[in-house]
Amino acid sequence: MAKKKFVVGSFKEESVLFPAVKAVRKAGYKIHDVFTPYAVHGLDHEMGLRETSIHTAGFIYGITGTATALGCISWILVQDWPLNIGGKPHFALPAWIPITFELTVLFSAVGMTMTFCYLCQLAPFVKKHHFVLRSTDDTFAMVIDAGKSNSQEIIAFLEAQGAVDVHEQFAETGWWFGTYNKEQQLYKDTTVDIA
């Protein structure tokens, strides 16, 4: 993906941000993303994002864990190496509940976290473009996908909505390997001027 054109506006207050999101969507501009320092509840609905399905993934991982535990233990203690413990049944389900429960939780938690990291592209040495550095501190940064439209128009629109420090940025939206102590970009700017 090559670099794309974005218009970035900063907000200092949630109370300004929410109406602005609504107005921007109504005006038909495409919000690329809003970067916030904390989880602003309701912003995802305001932006029209769909509900995440990570819970469903967690449930599937969980029942995988249950099945793994029950399957393995019953095969081991009934089929592979049955032990006679005081004539008690080999298939001793009540005694397996603790481990079954633990594996359910383990599979679900690990699976969900890995899914979360995969979906959000989070991993050590992953580097991304950060539109506004203070968006992890105290700024709500709204990034609008400018596409081929006139950025000046969007800038004026955002300023009218109460955004500050509105400007245009050319940025990559993907991720790449790198560290934050070095200036690295995913793609080198290879455009050459032809006379």
Partner 1 sequence: MHLKYEAQIREPLVDGDKDYHQVSEDICRPIEVKPSRLWYIGFFISIALLLFGVWSIYDQVVYGVGQWNLNKTVGWGWDITNFVWWIGIGHAGTLISAILLLFRQGWRTGVNRAAEAMTIFAVICAGQFPIWHMGRVWLAFFIMPYPNSRGPVWVNFNSPLLWDVFAVSTYFTVSLLFWYTGLLPDLALIRDRAKTKFRKFFYGITSFGWTGSTKHWQRHEALSLVLAGLATPLVLSVHTIVSFDFATSVIPGWHTTIFPPYFVAGAIFSGFAMVQTLLLILRRVFNLQDYITLGHIEAMNKVIVLTGSIVGIAYLTELFIAFYSQNQYEAYAFFYTRANLFSPYGWAYYGMMTCNVLSPQIFWFRKMRRNIYVTFFMSIIVNIGMWFERFVIIATSIFRDYLPSSWSIYYSPSIFEIGFYVGTFGLFFTCFFLFSKYFPVIAIAEIKHVLKTSGQNYKEQVGGIELQKVEEFAGEYAH
Tell me which residue has tokens 């481990």: 99
**Number of residues forming the site for partner 1 (CB under 8 A):** 68
Q: Which stretch binds partner 1 (CB under 8 A): 125-133, 146-154, 156-164, 187-195?
A: 125-133
Farthest-apart Cα atoms in the chain, separation:
92
Per-residue binder mask for partner 1 (CB under 8 A), 82-121, x = binder: -x-x------x--xx-xx-xxx-xx-xxx-xx--xx-xxx
Environment class of residue 163 by beta-carbon count within 10 Å: exposed (0-12), middle (13-18) or buried (19+)? buried
Q: Which is nearer to partner 1, 76 or 160 (CB)?
A: 76
Q: Determine, following the binding rule CB under 8 A, whether residue 127 of this chain makes contact with partner 1.
A: yes
Per-residue binder mask for partner 1 (CB under 8 A), 133-172, x = binder: xxxxxx----------------------------------
Q: Which of 1, 5, 3 is nearest to 145 (CA)?
A: 5
Shortest distance, position 6 Cβ to partner 1, whole Å: 13
Tell me which residue has tokens 């249950």: 66
Q: Are strands 175-177 and 30-35 parallel, antiparallel or unpaired?
A: unpaired
Q: Within the chain, where are the H helices?
A: 14-27, 43-46, 54-74, 93-119, 151-160
Under 8 Å CB-to-CB from 105, ≥6 apart: which residues? 62, 65
Per-residue binder mask for partner 1 (CB under 8 A), 68-87, x = binder: ----xx--xx--xx-x-x--
Instruction: Please report, as ranges, the residues that interact with partner 1 according to CB under 8 A.
Output: 14-15, 18, 33-44, 47, 49, 51-52, 54-55, 58, 72-73, 76-77, 80-81, 83, 85, 92, 95-96, 98-99, 101-103, 105-106, 108-110, 112-113, 116-117, 119-128, 130, 133-138, 175, 179-181
